[in-house]
Structure 1
Amino acid sequence: MNNLFKKILRKKNINHKHPAHLKKCLSALDLTLLGIGCIIGTGIFVLTGIAAANQAGPAVILSFVVSGFACAFAALAYAELSSSIGGCGSAYGYSYVAFGEFFAWIIGWILLMEYGMSIAAVANGWSGYFNNALTAMGLSLPEALSKAPSLGGIVNLPAMVIILIIMSLLIIGAKQSAKFNAVMVFIKLLTITLFISVAMFNVNPANWHPFMPYGWFSTLPDGKTVGVLAGASLVFFAYVGFDAVSTAAEEAINPQRDLPKGIIGSLAFCTVIYIIVSLLLTGVVPYQELNVSSPVAYALQKIGFQWASAVVSTGVIAGLTTVMLVLYYALTRIIFAMSRDGLLPHSLCEVNKNTNTPIKVIVYCGLLISLIAGFIPLGTLAEIVNIGTLAAFVIVSLGVIFIRKLHKNNKATFKNKWHPLIPLLGIFSCGALMFFLPVETWKRFLIWVLIGVVFYFTYSIKHSHLNKKPA
């Protein structure tokens, strides 16, 4: 951490003689793999089919390109701030330095929603592929135990169980979790390679016509938004993850050098993969048929490759596990940072001496999110995640403008090549994608923010270390 962040941290911990800290143990490769492990998941393995069938058609490829550009600007902003400020709170920590405590609290509150709902959403996708694998073995679960109540079931039991398993893994330690993530990322990339190798020889160009059945953007009589831009606001979920790398700043061995590499490298690699997979997926199966919970495996079944479908399902199960692992990791580190500042109960930043992990917050999050995953369906969760993520990206891009005024003489800071325009483009592109989200999603988002404002003025402002007088 540089001098600027240290000054802020000293103020926040003025009454704490022994503030909690995390162990530095993650390399540039660990950070890049964390990013890839989190980014490649539900977005490409599940939401690609849903967005193609319901919103964009084969032009879902363009939806990924639009979302990728918006994320690129945000990623460059994250890279600059992570190398300048550090800390384990991601956008929350950056906002603290740029805008002060109240705005930092709001963005931190939004991040809690983003990451919490993300984990639950990915668990839903994981459950779909897991049940497909069981069905292939003749052991499928009844609908009552594999679907949320709004979808005709009682509870999504596999989604709940996998979150509790991930909870146990995170308790062990960050480095051990990173090693597990690296293995799972390798399996996931092998799975994608298998799909590409099979699908590229079975493409039917007729499936790409019409390429843009809904145009760029339009509204149906029932009020539903469709088109490439509407699809972009949904598949944006596929890019959630690169920002999770920045939450590992306090555990990075050399954050100023390695965080920008991890953020930008993971995003660039995954964008190329997304474009290839979505192009092939809509090429081998008519897009109207892809509104299923496991479109990649379904596509391979449709073209007669049952064995490949089974292997891909197994690989996807492993891959989605890494997504939950990294998102869960990021969520606990944000809560850790907010608790250390006094904005959340202090017990949430207590670090276990044996594992060097904040066990209490890991357990609390696991129990709550497992309930959300069990009772709320994927589509609703994904939209909530997207609006929270986009709001965070807008604020981070805006934060770059303010931080640059404070960092004019910082030679160690990562600088964007076109640095005057990057934050402005990030604000515009991410703000535009927020516009295309459904009205109901906006209502849920604003209600969540309002609850956060009430919590701040009834609890956080009274316990904040920044507002306490020196002892």
Structure 2
Amino acid sequence: METHNSSFANFSSYLQALAQTPARFARRAFSATTSYEEMSRVRAKSGSNMRRTLRWYDLIGLGIGGMVGAGVFVTTGRASRLDAGPAVVISYAIAGVCALLSAFCYTEFAVDMPVAGGAFSYLRVTFGEFAAFITGANLIMEYVMSNAAVSRSFTAYVGAAIGVSAPKWRFTVHGLPNGFNEIDFAAVATVLFLTFIICYSTRQSSMLNIVLTVLHILFIVFVIVMGFWRGDTKNLTEPANPKHPSGFFPYGASGVFNGAAMVYLSYIGYDAVSTMAEEVQNPVKDIPVGVSGSVVIVTILYCLMSASMSMLLPYDMVSK
């Protein structure tokens, strides 16, 4: 767009564009584009075409890397202790099925419209620009908050591994409310470093993601092996404290579904694979395998890990 046509060319143009906001909103709020426009006109405005360098195994790696993270190490114990007990494995299975059904929807849209817009583009075609804007804003907030939580958890894990308490990594800003007044510079540096890699090259970021994903999977496999090797099956039905509810379903079906709602956080990230559709060599073949395959693999890993954890400790001894 040329400078003289821009709403930000000067202060007068900005005020004029601001005055036209109600009319623009009324005209565009419920107007929907077509898949052809998304693939041609809208895509052309983004600039040069992206290089199609990703294959199905790259998408599986990106999907697993997006899902496997601090979430599973935080939510599993809490869901087991407070909601599902040993039946947290069923909670993970239910959450995995829900994620897979959602993944099928993403797959269908991504194959039909292999563009980088993801859910924003899909909703703009089906429900219009206002719904797409609300969804896009929610997605941005979701990723900002989840990335902040994961990066802060990462620094806490690193600090625990090397014997440094988490507060020593953080700088306190006086005047802000307690709980919101600590800046974790190590977490900020981690996010900036990964952002630089992602912006530098999709191929390099995919390779780094695969390496980190392999490390995550090795750790989960270690937990699974230790649980089935050193664990005790009686922990699946007997709590440490006899006064607590016993059995595989200590809190009943409601506890299992409450646990599923909690552990679903561990599956967030598979939807990001659909945003890579414009960089996939063969979208019709690679996207379904990449999106659905990553959800299936992660579901199996999560169920096995939660089962091994339940055998290692009675549910009422698991840290929440």
Partner of 1:216: 253
Partners in 1 of 2:181 and 2:130 — Cα distance?
41
The answer on whether the counterparts of 2:80 and 2:88 sit within 8 Å (CA) in structure 1 is yes
Alpha-carbon deviation of 1:114?
A: 1.8
Tell me the percent identity.
32
1:120 to 1:289, Cα distance in 2 relative to 1, 3 A: farther
Partners in 1 of 2:136 and 2:82 — Cα distance?
32
Radius of gyration: which is bigger?
Answer: 2
Alpha-carbon deviation of 1:214?
A: 2.4
Match of 1:260 among 272, 288, 295: 288
Partners in 1 of 2:137 and 2:180 — Cα distance?
32
The residue type equivalent to 2:253 in the other structure is W
Partner of 1:184: 212
Alpha-carbon deviation of 1:290?
A: 2.7
The residue type equivalent to 1:245 in the other structure is V
Larger deviation, residues 241-250 vs 102-111? 102-111
Partners in 1 of 2:184 and 2:233 — Cα distance?
37
Aligned length: 275
Alpha-carbon deviation of 1:153?
A: 7.9
Partner of 2:125: 97
The answer on whether the counterparts of 1:144 and 1:155 sit within 8 Å (CA) in structure 2 is no
Partner of 2:83: 55
- Indicate yes or no: 2:257 matched with 1:229: yes
1:86 to 1:159, Cα distance in 2 relative to 1, 3 A: same
Partners in 2 of 1:249 and 1:103 — Cα distance?
21
Match of 2:193 among 159, 165, 171: 165
Partner of 2:165: 141
- The superposition leaves residues 390-420 of structure 1 with CA deviations (integer Å, 9 ceiling, x where unpaired) of xxxxxxxxxxxxxxxxxxxxxxxxxxxxxxx
Match of 2:51 among 23, 30, 43: 23
Q: TM-score scaled by structure 2?
A: 0.78
Partners in 1 of 2:91 and 2:304 — Cα distance?
13
Partners in 2 of 1:192 and 1:57 — Cα distance?
20
Superposition RMSD on alpha carbons, in Å? Answer: 2.5
List alignment gaps of at least 5 residues for structure 1.
218-226, 293-471
1:164 to 1:288, Cα distance in 2 relative to 1, 3 A: farther
The residue type equivalent to 2:285 in the other structure is R
The answer on whether the counterparts of 1:36 and 1:267 sit within 8 Å (CA) in structure 2 is yes
Match of 1:34 among 53, 58, 62: 62
The residue type equivalent to 1:213 in the other structure is P
- The superposition leaves residues 29-57 of structure 1 with CA deviations (integer Å, 9 ceiling, x where unpaired) of 11111111112222322211122123222
Partner of 1:121: 149
List alignment gaps of at least 5 residues for structure 2.
1-33, 238-245
- The superposition leaves residues 257-279 of structure 1 with CA deviations (integer Å, 9 ceiling, x where unpaired) of 21111001111111111100001
Partner of 1:207: 235
The residue type equivalent to 2:75 in the other structure is L
The residue type equivalent to 1:212 in the other structure is F
Partner of 2:315: 287
Partner of 2:102: 74
The residue type equivalent to 1:117 in the other structure is M
Partners in 2 of 1:141 and 1:6 — Cα distance?
54
Alpha-carbon deviation of 1:9?
A: 4.7
SS at match of 1:201: helix
Taking the TM superposition and a 5 Å limit, the aligned residue runs for 1:452-471 are: none
Match of 1:7 among 37, 50, 54: 37
- The superposition leaves residues 116-151 of structure 1 with CA deviations (integer Å, 9 ceiling, x where unpaired) of 22212222332232122112xxxx135354699755
Taking the TM superposition and a 5 Å limit, the aligned residue runs for 1:288-367 are: 288-291=316-319
Partner of 1:349: none
Partner of 2:22: none
Q: TM-score scaled by structure 1?
A: 0.54
SS at match of 1:248: helix
The answer on whether the counterparts of 1:144 and 1:153 sit within 8 Å (CA) in structure 2 is no
Partners in 2 of 1:179 and 1:161 — Cα distance?
20
The answer on whether the counterparts of 1:89 and 1:247 sit within 8 Å (CA) in structure 2 is yes
1:9 to 1:27, Cα distance in 2 relative to 1, 3 A: closer
- The superposition leaves residues 169-208 of structure 1 with CA deviations (integer Å, 9 ceiling, x where unpaired) of 2232111111111222222222222222222111122322
Partners in 2 of 1:193 and 1:103 — Cα distance?
41
- The superposition leaves residues 280-336 of structure 1 with CA deviations (integer Å, 9 ceiling, x where unpaired) of 1121022233335xxxxxxxxxxxxxxxxxxxxxxxxxxxxxxxxxxxxxxxxxxxx
1:125 to 1:288, Cα distance in 2 relative to 1, 3 A: farther
Partners in 1 of 2:316 and 2:129 — Cα distance?
48
1:66 to 1:150, Cα distance in 2 relative to 1, 3 A: farther
Higher relative contact order (CA 8 A, sep 6+): 2
Partners in 1 of 2:66 and 2:204 — Cα distance?
16
Partners in 2 of 1:113 and 1:56 — Cα distance?
29
